[in-house]
Structure 1
Amino acid sequence: MKRPGFIERHHLWTEIQKEVCEKIKAVVKERDLLLIRTAWSDQHGIVRSKSLLPQTFLSALENGMQISTGTFLFDTGGALVFNPFIPGGSLEMPEMTGAPNLVAVPDPHTFRIVPWAKRTGLILCDQYFQNGQKMSLSSRGILRQSLAELHQRGLEHIVGLEVEWYLAKLEDPMLALADVGTSGKPGQPPKVSAVEHSFQYLLESHNPEIHDLLRILAENLVEMELPLRSVENEGGIGQFEFTFDPIPALQAADTMTMFRMATKQVCRQQGYIASFMCRPGLQGCSSNGWHLHQSLINRTTSENAFMSANSSTLMSDLGKHFVGGILKHANAASVFTTPTINGYKRFRPNSLAPDRAGWGLENRGAMIRLQGGFDDPNTHIENRIGEPAANPYLYMASQLICGLDGVDCKLDPGSPTEEPYATENPALPRSLLEAISYLSQSELFGQKMGQQFINFMIKMKQSEINRFLEAVAGQSPDEYSKQVTDWEQREYFELF
């Protein structure tokens, strides 16, 4: 009798996943796929992958795929943060000693054909230790854990994505050996030119300049079965916003992961650079935001749990308490909603980004914008704090952790404001350094994500900050905190 594979031995798939797996095997054969990109998201939300030939991939559908722990050891610039060759791998985790292999287990629900690459498929994975235990540093695993708690309450997290990004024409990829950089010191960013002329919000006449590229991109996203909803020209020169239908949170996080990956690859294939960096250091470039639309629904009745049945209130008590929790813990959660140094340059008064933790009815200056109201089944909140470089799994998990604490503690969000930049609500962090200080003091995140993971993220982000401060040592804080530095452009523009 054949010995059960790793996935079967450790009961890692549901019956539905097993059924989907059989369909995937048939597709691989019918489409004559040559390479299947077996991928996962690291702590930064960056997609890492191995391309497997069909027979190896079929084996991975039984035993998972062996991967190195290496992607968990580096910060955004490729600097080594943890030494794996001491006990605990510098993480106080015996399983990480010596940089051993992990097992990446494909999730059949995420399998896609890659339209822009011939005979190629893609599947996302979860990470496990060799003994079948969940890898505690896995961001997708942390979201799964948060959703499991929510499901026990009979609720589902529904998420709509509204994502801004920047498009530029590639002029020089800067691939001379002197320009490519080294570990911890990213090289020169590519040289680019604008795709349109001057700031004109939602200008229809700019469409001929970029329509063909956007059409190709939309075709690829739709072919990947991503729930694309709308495409629009945003405020900055070469800035665009794509929105997606509201879907369950894990599916939404996977969608964001695949959307960013697809957008960058398709645009590069066409001779352009797509960047999800929050505030690129280019002339005429506005800040990019990632607004997270969210609601909770009853898993039994499918009713919107945020909708108010009382004409005197804007949303249900559960909804108000959920908002109260997000506002209370906004500063600590900023490490997950706004995880780059560059992202904090978006928080400016009287802009379309928040600068303090408050909420308002249909108010785009507030951190939390409520849409809907009494007896409206579409009632939901929009958190406007996020940057598009955020790890989707950690962004969404942070919302659930904060919101459910608000529900449990019956936190009052206060009254909605009409003057979001003039209220006495707590100011949001002004820097990533300030944000990690709040996170280090958060008992809630230590309990829900695990103190081991929180310590890991703080050390990871501190490495990023230390390299930044070293690079700007000759500048005053007033100078480097307001302007996008050369270091940021090197670090984030092409990576995200």
Structure 2
Amino acid sequence: MSDGNLTTAEQDVLDQIESEDVDFLRLQFTDILGTVKNVSVPARQAEKAFTEGIYFDGSSIEGFVRIQESDMRLKPDPETFAVLPWRDKEDSAAARMICDVIDTSTGEPFEGDPRYILKQALDRAKEMGYTVNAAPEPEFFLFEEDEDGHATTKTNDHGGYFDLAPKDLAQDVRRDIIYGLEDMGFEVEASHHEVAQGQHEINFEYDDALTTADNVGTFRTVVRAIAAQHGYHATFMPKPIPKVNGSGMHTHISLFTEDGENAFHDEDDEFNLSDEAHAFTAGVLEHAPAITAVANPTVNSYKRLVPGYEAPVYVAWSDRNRSALIRKPAARVPAASRVELRSPDPSCNPYLAIATMIHAGLDGIENDLDCPDPVRENIYEFDEQKREEYGIDTLPSNLGEAVDALEEDEVVYDALGEHIAEKFVEAKRQEFEEYLIDVSDWELERYLEKY
């Protein structure tokens, strides 16, 4: 029972904990690099978590704070309560809540909390009269494990795009993942085998941007846990297998007005896009190189972003083909009008990636940026001269170039906040430098005996 100081949503959580026989709560948050972390507490601590918060050592989390500034507090969001689906139903259950991180020295939201950064982006949109909806399409690979339980890169099927059994042998795994997601409140729209062997995609319903970012972290956790129950390793690494398509996380986004109308729709426009949608698109294109550092944050991300494997590398938009960075998908009804950024991959921090997209697009609206004409031809077939004629730039070709672009772009850098921007750049510079001085198996095989 509570002492009466709880909100209705918080009391509902306490009631669910009792009715679902929940023994443990995982209080979940995300670090700067997008890794989901959690502090596990007995469920009897739930009321204390709501009224006082749960304290933890922030200095142990990469990019958070120094040891002399270590005390952080987790403030759970009751709207994110969900019972974890992979526990044995005969045992007592575990549940999770996603938390905001509070700086105990000020009592204010911690500026290094990625969820807070996204909330700031949404506040900016609200000040301009908009709410933001988003929907990602995260892809992943399923690999077999070796006899010691370690991941291999051996796929369990020979399926291709939209294949059925017997080629797609992972249908049962996807089915159980979908059941697990639905148990946690997801509205799953579709699932299918992707282009590469062992590659899969599960799409969940469009939602407000904060819920969407929360859902990406939950999605990755559920996919990994249920795949492991089937004896497979699920990975969201962008390019685990050379010379095949990598995994993307195409992200759809749109703005809505305060009265619930889709601000991106205009029936009289050739493409059914409003002036706001065109300006938003122009803003994302303008800031695309800097966004890439956040939306494609690993050295491996740039093994996916190469011509020839359906990944978008050309800074252009189109209403017809998928070779451009931004696509305007067909919309059956006005409320579905949106734009799709095709470059992000599922290794990104969803809070930061979506926040940078929002700030870039709003910058386009605020400054009334002109949107270039759509490119309807297949840009993959353009030579360099033709791309120059069309004024089409390319995304950064490696993590180092992307971080350079981030540091040079005031809008996107500021979108991250000073704390995260500084720590993110520092971590990614170090990652790229370590990569540059490493010697790969490819180099050894090619050069060791030849020279």
TM-score, scaled relative to structure 2 = 0.89
Question: SS of the residue aligned with 2:137?
Answer: strand
Flag the 1:380–1:45 CA change in 2: closer, same or farther, 3 A: same
Alignment match, 2:127: 152
Q: Give the conservation status (yes or no) of the 8 Å contact 2:54–2:75.
A: yes
Q: Distance in 2 between matches of 1:111 and 1:160?
A: 21
User: Does residue 290 of the first structure (1) align with residue 249 of the second (2)?
Assistant: yes
Question: SS of the residue aligned with 1:388?
Answer: coil
Q: Give the conservation status (yes or no) of the 8 Å contact 2:246–2:309.
A: no
Give how far 1:381 is off: 0.7
Flag the 1:395–1:48 CA change in 2: closer, same or farther, 3 A: same
Question: SS of the residue aligned with 2:145?
Answer: strand
Moved more, 234-243 or 55-64: 55-64
Flag the 1:312–1:269 CA change in 2: closer, same or farther, 3 A: closer
User: Does residue 339 of the first structure (1) align with residue 326 of the second (2)?
Assistant: no
Question: SS of the residue aligned with 2:210?
Answer: helix
Deviations 1:37-85 (A, max 9, x none): 11111112111112110222321121111111135436xxxxxxx9xxx
Question: SS of the residue aligned with 1:206?
Answer: coil
Q: Distance in 1 between matches of 2:331 and 2:194?
A: 27
Q: Give the conservation status (yes or no) of the 8 Å contact 1:104–1:128.
A: yes
Flag the 1:54–1:459 CA change in 2: closer, same or farther, 3 A: same
Alignment match, 2:102: 128
Q: Give the conservation status (yes or no) of the 8 Å contact 2:314–2:323.
A: no
Q: Give the conservation status (yes or no) of the 8 Å contact 1:165–1:240.
A: yes
User: Does residue 363 of the first structure (1) align with residue 315 of the second (2)?
Assistant: no
Find 2:202's aligned residue among 238, 242, 246: 242
Alignment match, 2:151: 190
Q: Which runs of 5+ in 2 are unaligned?
A: none
Give how far 1:208 is off: 6.6
Q: Which runs of 5+ in 1 are unaligned?
A: 9-16, 75-81, 83-88, 90-95, 175-188, 481-496
User: Does residue 279 of the first structure (1) align with residue 239 of the second (2)?
Assistant: yes
User: 2:376 is matched by which residue type in structure 1?
Assistant: E
Mapping of 1:378-457 within 5 angstroms? Answer: 378-419=336-377, 420-421=379-380, 422=382, 423=387, 424-457=391-424
User: 1:335 is matched by which residue type in structure 2?
Assistant: A
Find 1:462's aligned residue among 401, 414, 429: 429
Alignment match, 1:61: 50
Aligned residues: 431
Deviations 1:228-259 (A, max 9, x none): 11110111111001111111000111111100
User: 1:44 is matched by which residue type in structure 2?
Assistant: L
Moved more, 413-422 or 362-371: 413-422
TM-score, scaled relative to structure 1 = 0.81
Q: Distance in 2 between matches of 1:376 and 1:111?
A: 32
Cα RMSD after superposing both structures? 2.6
Q: Distance in 2 between matches of 1:243 and 1:260?
A: 12
Alignment match, 1:40: 29
Q: Give the conservation status (yes or no) of the 8 Å contact 1:142–1:393.
A: yes
Mapping of 1:15-30 within 5 angstroms? Answer: 18-30=7-19
Identity rate of aligned residues, in percent? 27
Q: Distance in 2 between matches of 1:71 and 1:383?
A: 34
Q: Distance in 2 between matches of 1:285 and 1:395?
A: 25
Q: Give the conservation status (yes or no) of the 8 Å contact 2:29–2:98.
A: yes
Moved more, 19-28 or 349-358: 349-358
Flag the 1:381–1:206 CA change in 2: closer, same or farther, 3 A: farther
